[in-house]
Amino acid sequence: MKKIIFYIACVAIIFGFASCANQEDTSPSYADQNLFAPSDEDHSTMADLQRDFYKETGAYLLFNDTLKKVKNGTDAYGNPIWNTEMVDVEYPFIGDVSSYTYTYKYIRNIDQQKKVADLIKEKLAKRLGKAVPYSFLIVDSITTWVNNNGVLEIAPEDSWSGTVPHPTQVLGTRCYAVSTSGDTGYQDANYFTTIFSQIVLNKLKRLNPDKLAKFYSYGESYYLVDKTDLGLEYGVNDSIARSRGFWKDHNYYYLAVKDTDLQYFSNAVCTYSESQVKEMMAAFPIVIERFELLRNVIKSMGIKLDD
């Protein structure tokens, strides 16, 4: 008798599984949907703007860090439960998770969205060329937050780490968040050039060290060496620094520091054409040589530079 009951139970379970499998799953599936792009059913002005931006640059355009927000039932109290997916700009595929949290003030006016999309397209996306990110999140402002004993606080400015409470950009693996800093991005002609320079510098720092070995070889005997040990007097003298191959003097005590040496030349490559530098630095052939060397490294990444 026990065996008969056992067999009946097994059959019931099997048919139960079969019944469940045959039931239609009515919940929406997003497996085949690219959440960075507007849906095919979306024919809004913003959606058209996003599609045009992607066609011209190869990067997706976002004005909100929420990629998906779909109601997924209600809780015991009748409150809606949302299935949400965020861009999570600071999340790295490789490396350490950021210790900071970022929040954004959105640009909601469609005319402003069109205007800033054109600025990003011309001043960043097209210049980045093949190095363009997967997507841009364009916002009015960015705020950096830090966890202080369980309480989120606006991060203080820290010159050592480079942290600022309101950065102009946050560069992630699949998205670059770019802020207009209110009206500054529209009014300051050099605003996006500075951001472009920061993006290029960030990419240089992520290169295989071998790519920059020759560039650094010019300065290895000078980095963090006291000026008096080089037979120089304390003070700031750009001409002396340039005669030894540096873009400018680092500070009162040191002729050069490795990180800022790269930064100075990288900014110069992003700001000046080759012909301009040859004229500016005509008396300093080593500076021109290093400029051309780094320029070629940057161009090899697919980034477009002024001739």
Which residue among 133, 162, 195 closes a domain? 195
Which residue among 195, 217, 248 closes a domain? 195
Quote the strand ranges of the chain, DSSP E: 60-62, 66-74, 80-86, 100-105, 135-139, 141-148, 151-154, 169-171, 176-179
Range of the domain at 234: 207-300
How high is the pLDDT of residue 287?
98
Which residue among 145, 168, 195 closes a domain? 195
Burial of 234 (0-12, 13-18, 19+ CB in 10 A): exposed
191 and 212 both lie in a single domain: no
Q: Degrees (nearest 5) of the Cα angle 179, 185, 190?
A: 120
50 and 98 both lie in a single domain: yes
261 and 187 both lie in a single domain: no
161 is a domain residue: yes
How high is the pLDDT of residue 125?
97
262 and 161 both lie in a single domain: no
How, if at all, do strands 100-105 and 141-148 pair?
antiparallel
How high is the pLDDT of residue 307?
76
227 is a domain residue: yes
12 is a domain residue: no
20 is a domain residue: no
134 and 265 both lie in a single domain: no
Q: Which of 294, 303, 297, 296 is nearest to 219 (CA)?
A: 294
How high is the pLDDT of residue 6?
44
146 and 180 both lie in a single domain: yes
Six token digits for residue 179: 């802020």
What are the phi and psi torsion angles at 185 (to 5°)? -60, -25
How high is the pLDDT of residue 3?
44
Question: pLDDT of the chain along its 307 residues, tens only?
Answer: 444 444 444 444 444 444 444 444 444 444 567 888 888 888 899 999 999 999 999 999 999 987 765 666 777 776 776 666 778 787 554 444 567 889 999 999 999 999 999 999 999 999 999 999 999 999 999 999 998 888 889 988 887 888 899 999 999 988 999 999 999 999 999 999 999 999 999 999 999 999 999 999 999 999 999 999 999 999 999 999 999 999 999 999 999 999 999 999 999 999 999 999 999 999 999 999 999 999 999 999 999 998 7
The number of domains in the chain is 2
216 is a domain residue: yes
Sign of torsion, CA 282 286 290 296? positive
161 and 117 both lie in a single domain: yes
